[in-house]
Chain A
């Protein structure tokens, strides 16, 4: 069977109960898009599926698993929120859920890296076990502060696989002198609207206007090794780790001074001009810091001296 035929058959299976269509109808639509209008097959499939969803008056999440019409992705491919995807990998870590709404939360990894996953209590899905490889079909991607995650939902199909996966590391490590802590660092306020989290400017959110912000800590810094610059981003946890200032303490400092900028000022005085190595995944032009190490030991002077004498 041709690729088109296979895809058409799968789409047909999803709608045969709801719609009076034949595999030929589906294939013809795909064929028009792919061969006449040069649309990539995955996009064509998405488009045709959407057309039938409309015709059947169905929502996308009513489609069953199996040939769900989703793109099959690897962890490193996840680069946009709110996409329905199929993904295969190993549950590498299970974390403690900090809310009753969450049944399980942890890390899910494949050859290309790891990604956070969340399984909601109300979805009523089977328990995932650490160290086991699963094929997850019909999960939704999400993004928070540049970090992507996948969310399982009640339509998600979980298939346990009897195989092993070499989970890859998508982290980068960069080092250099911290030459700048940029504005928007220190104690900041974020928009409390659901799924917004934009940083407020003078109490205003770009999207939602004047809002009662929620405090957060972060550092937008620049590491420079004399040859390259790297922009690095510390979230609340990494900031607390690095500075020893907790969110609570930062709020107290700001209250005492009647000014939130004292927090960033103190961080600048403490951190700038010193050497660090940071490790974490990259997002756009940032390295998102998971680990940070202060480099206080000089590097090997002797080796450089030998080189200096020889040229």
Chain B
């Protein structure tokens, strides 16, 4: 039996951290080896899963359709995604959905360098589905948990005085990025607080 390559886990990451991730790498010289995006909290991501509010869709293609979708997370940060003829299902979802809508997206991170040398990160969706608010809330809590786990590990590994980390990806993140990890903890807190606020609003009679 041919061995099937292990399927890549879909990482959970808020847009604020995702958009800060600009460094990509491969782990072998094989042309078909997976490309990983290095998250600032010290984890590799070849796939992401996100649930948020689709805010805008636009066909930005020249000759053929090339759909851009913008999805906002609870902190107001946006994910950008692009789907063209090679992602027909995702492209047709972006064509047909009326923003605003809650959607879930499974996709691959992609980076591209702009003319002025800045690296932008986006998502090439594998699938897009319309979902309900409960699914979105569940994703927010889950993403908060996963992010906290990464932050805790990052802090453990690097220590107060910035000792060399043992974990490969934490070490890589410490090396490649100069970003305050504290920002991502704050994003987690804000995202969770927004859920509490929503609940409070929903509970108030005729607010």
A residues neighboring B (CB under 8 Å): 177, 179-180, 222, 224-229, 231, 268-269, 271-275, 295-302, 304-305, 307-309, 311
Contacts and interface: CB of A to CB of B under 8 A. Distances in A.
Contact of B105 (A226, A227, A273, A300): A273
Contacts of A298: 134, 137-138, 140-141, 195
Given A180-B127, A300-B141, 11 more contacts: A179-B10, A179-B106, A226-B12, A229-B8, A272-B129, A298-B141, A299-B142, A301-B140, A304-B144, A305-B144, A311-B155
A304 B135 contact: no
A274 B142 contact: no
6 contacts: A177-B10, A177-B104, A179-B10, A226-B146, A269-B129, A301-B137
Given A268-B127, A274-B104, A311-B155, A296 B132 contact: yes
Given A273-B103, A296-B135, A298-B134, A311 B10 contact: no
A131 to B, nearest CB: 41
B134 A296 contact: yes
User: Which secondary structure dominates chain B's binding surface?
Assistant: helix
A180 B103 CA distance: 15
B135 A305 contact: no
Interface residues of B, number: 43
B7 interface: yes
A226 B7 CA distance: 12
Nearest to B4: A285
A308 B49 contact: no
Contacts of B196: 301-302, 305
Contact of A272 (B104, B152, B185, B193): B104
Contacts of A222: 7
Contacts of A295: 138
B152 A311 contact: yes
A217 B77 CA distance: 41
Contact of B192 (A228, A268, A305): A305
A79 to B, nearest CB: 15
Contacts of A179: 10, 47, 49, 106, 127
Contacts of A300: 141
Interface in B1-17: 7-12
Interface string B60-94: 00000000000000000000000000000100000
A226 B129 contact: no
Contacts of B38: none
B119 interface: no
B59 to A, nearest CB: 21
Interface in B171-207: 185, 188-189, 192-193, 195-196
B141 to A, nearest CB: 5
B125 to A, nearest CB: 10
Contacts of B8: 229
B54 interface: no
Which 9 residue pairs are nearest across A and B when measured between Cβ atoms?
A273-B104, A273-B129, A298-B137, A305-B192, A226-B12, A298-B138, A272-B129, A296-B134, A179-B106
Contact of A311 (B105, B131, B134, B148): B148
B151 A311 contact: yes
A305 B193 contact: yes
A14 B199 CA distance: 75
A302 B200 CA distance: 13
A269 B89 CA distance: 10
A231 B9 CA distance: 12
B56 interface: no
Quick one: which of B132, B138, B185, B195 has the most chain A CB within 10 A?
B138
Given A180-B126, A305-B196, A226 B10 contact: yes
Nearest to A311: B152
Given A273-B51, A301-B192, A227 B134 contact: no
A226 B11 contact: yes
A231 B126 CA distance: 17
Nearest to B6: A229
Nearest to B152: A311
B145 interface: yes
A307 B145 CA distance: 9
Contacts of B151: 311
A271 B188 CA distance: 27
A272 B49 contact: no
